[in-house]
Amino acid sequence: MEGQKRIRVGLLGLGTVGGGVYRMLLDNQGAIERRSGARLEITRIGVRDANRERDVPAELVTCDLESIVADPEIDVIVEVIGGLEPAGDLIRTALANGKPVVTANKEWMAKQGQAYVRYAAEHGLDLHYEAAVGGGIPLIQPLKHQLAGNDMVRMMGILNGTTNFILTRMTEEGAEFGDVLRDAQAAGYAEADPTADVDGFDAQYKLAILSSIAFGKEVDPETVYREGIRRVGKRDIEFADLLGYRIKLLGIVSSSGQDHLQARVHPTMIPKTHPLAAVSGVYNALWFQGDFVGDVMFSGRGAGSDPTASAVVGDLVDIARNLVSGGKGSAIPVGPKVASDPIESLETSYYVRLTVLDRPKVLGTIANLFGEYDVSLAAMEMRTLSAEKGEIVFMTHRCQEGRFRPAIEAVGDSSVVDRVENWIRVEG
């Protein structure tokens, strides 16, 4: 449009997400101009290997990323490199040079980002990071704005598409974890090294970011309890279905008193009737419970080039509007850092699967051992495995994890129990 403000964007990274951002700004240029009031142009692109063939003009590409964040002609920086460094140093330099920043970097935002959100707010700059959490699902903006008047009671989410894909396939096909993981890697849903996904690190970072915004206190990600899905087996999926549940890797946070939160990531059995139970495949979802709004859920594709690019460009449009209007940045800092309460303080129910020996008084012995730690049993399923062994599944009543853990250890040491196969937390 004639006479429209030109905003020059420096793009750090041209991988899956960076490529999506570049394409979206070209393909949807007209709509973006109408909505932002400015012409957004990527004028420089920082990459690790400038000689690699890419579908972008060669004159835009450089390996000197520091020159981009220092360039006075660049108005906005988009960081989609990932990892703590050099991404963190580039973001810090960009802000110090007075440039607003959009990042999709969940690890950096979880571990260091809130200090720089405060810096951005103090200096009238934008630091936006919608893509760091939900990919294409808008989560941060609703928490900052539309839901900001609520006291958040509880939040639960499927925050990792890879693990949801694996657990969905295990549920629908009766497959084992290792087989589905290999299929997910072959299909490109899981990395060659799947640790960040299947061991819960990705969800841990995302939950720390969301918890900080929802509850207004910076949550240290290292204190968020984390447990992955490697121990979830085909038999656990089968018993969950029989008992009316689905198993999901959930990030869960709730208020546990003044300046206290209970934040955790782990496999969880949730009732089939809960909205999160129906979220399948690579989809992510976040369910909120606010004191006034009640229950709210957002769901969508949480990863990939196009959904994540959509969130990045949305943040860019927000920044462009500020630059056009001459307004100050809209970065919203949270309160001082808090640690999540230890997992031993959690009160919930538990699913337990045991292989037991075929001996008299097996049930009574196990029930008595649980009872010694004030853990009461609510339901039971039994199956014969052989002439010598059987399988027993228990559901407990709610109890404190600090009592449950020594109880399950005592049960595992019992002479009537061959092996504690697994135990999983249950949400009502």
Place of tokens 């690699």: 52
- Side-chain half-sphere exposure of 381, counting CA atoms within 13 A: 16
Cα dihedral 368, 400, 159, 298, rounded to 10, equals: 110
**Closest among 214, 156, 181 to 338, alpha carbons compared:** 214
Secondary structure of residue 221 in the 3-state scheme? helix
Known catalytic residue: 111? no
The residue length of the chain stands at 428
- Rounded to whole angstroms, how far apart are CA atoms 267 and 167? 10
Distance in Å from the first CA to the final CA of the chain: 55
Catalytic residue among 106, 206, 217, 248: 206
Q: What is the b/e burial string over 119-152, where b = at least 16 CB atoms within 10 angstroms of the residue's CB?
A: bbbeeebbbbbbbbbbbbbbbbbbbbeebeebeb
- Rounded to whole angstroms, how far apart are CA atoms 219 and 196? 19
Report which DSSP code applies to 111: I
Our CA angle for 224, 158, 205, nearest 5°, is 35
**Closest among 281, 249, 276, 275 to 264, alpha carbons compared:** 249
Place of tokens 């594709």: 301
**Residues noted as catalytic:** 206
